[in-house]
Amino acid sequence: MLVTMACTSSAPPQQQLQTPQKLGDEEKTGNGGNIIRCSGQLPVVLDFYNATIPTLGAPAPTLVDISQYTSDQVVDFFKFRFTSFPYFQHQFEDALKAVGPMDTWLSANLKNTKDANETYHLPQGCSQEQAAVRQGTVMYGDPDIINSLVPAQKGLLLVHEALYYIGDTVLGLRTSEKIRSVVRETLKDNSSAVALRAAIYKIGGLVSPFQIVLKKWRQICKQK
């Protein structure tokens, strides 16, 4: 089937070029590649910390114990959880390839980098640190911070970056709030397929290539 799309204007669409912003720019897209460090506790990825917090209507969920997993085992665990959603599983695999293995990330001092465009309140004795930043498909990692993580948390950081890559490239997400919902639902011991599907959809998962092209074409048309 041949699908033809046309704008009301006959002028050809112009390519939109975007200049990468410098590291540390306060208006930079926030992807939340952060860790939480609390006094007397091992540092954890922000997504994991968020998954352990109760809501106003329910206690903290029981999570699958991944504490002894290697980084690769954590990634494989998420792949397994996504088997019920073949198209999203494919998206996730592609995103992992796009951000690359952690040992290929460029080493950078991110201690003064503000990457998140959101406020996240932490209890006393806890602080948030920037572990990783992505610009396009170029990943930067702070070795001091990343090396302080146990293998399972390194795996979660990689998972986070892959999920955010999907949300950013498909829907243009500017915060990681919806990414954390996917991680939370995936890590639940009694994970609901319905709840996980809803969380995945909100980050641009399960969206077909045709839908993406159609959305971009409509955006171009609006600019004319």
Contact 145, 161 (CB under 8 A): no
Q: Where are the beta strands (DSSP E) in 65-186?
A: 106-107, 126-130, 132-135, 138-141
Task: Look up residue 93 and give its two tokens.
Answer: 């695999």
Cα separation values, 15 from 101, 102, 165, 216, Å: 31, 32, 21, 12
Contact 112, 26 (CB under 8 A): no
More confident site: 171 or 27: 171
pLDDT above 70 coverage of the chain, percent: 76
Give the amino acid at 199.
A
| pLDDT of amino acid 87 | 93
Place of tokens 């990692």: 141
Task: For residues 154-175, give the mean pLDDT.
Answer: 92
Q: Which residues contact 130 (CB under 8 A, 6 or more apart)?
A: 33, 34, 110, 111, 113, 114, 115, 142, 145
Task: Look up residue 63 and give its two tokens.
Answer: 């999570």
| pLDDT tens readout for residues 197-213 | 999 999 988 765 555 55
Task: For residues 55-59, give the mean pLDDT.
Answer: 90
| pLDDT tens readout for residues 117-162 | 566 778 899 999 999 999 888 999 999 999 999 999 999 999 999 9
Cα of 102 vs its chain's centroid, Å: 15
More confident site: 210 or 91: 91
Using pLDDT thresholds of 50, 70 and 90, give the confidence band for residue 1. very low
Q: How far apart are CA 98 and CA 178, in angstroms?
A: 20
| pLDDT of amino acid 111 | 83
Cα separation values, 85 from 10, 90, 165, 182, 205, Å: 39, 9, 18, 13, 9
Does residue 5 carry a pLDDT above 80?
no
Looking at every residue in the chain, the average pLDDT score rounds to 82
Name the range with the highest mean pLDDT among 24-33, 110-119, 143-152, 213-222. 143-152
For the chain, the farthest-separated pair of C-alpha atoms sits apart, in whole angstroms, at 64
Give the amino acid at 96.
L
Contact 158, 31 (CB under 8 A): no
Domain extent listing, the chain: 34-53+62-222
Phi, psi of 39, deg, nearest 5: -55, 130
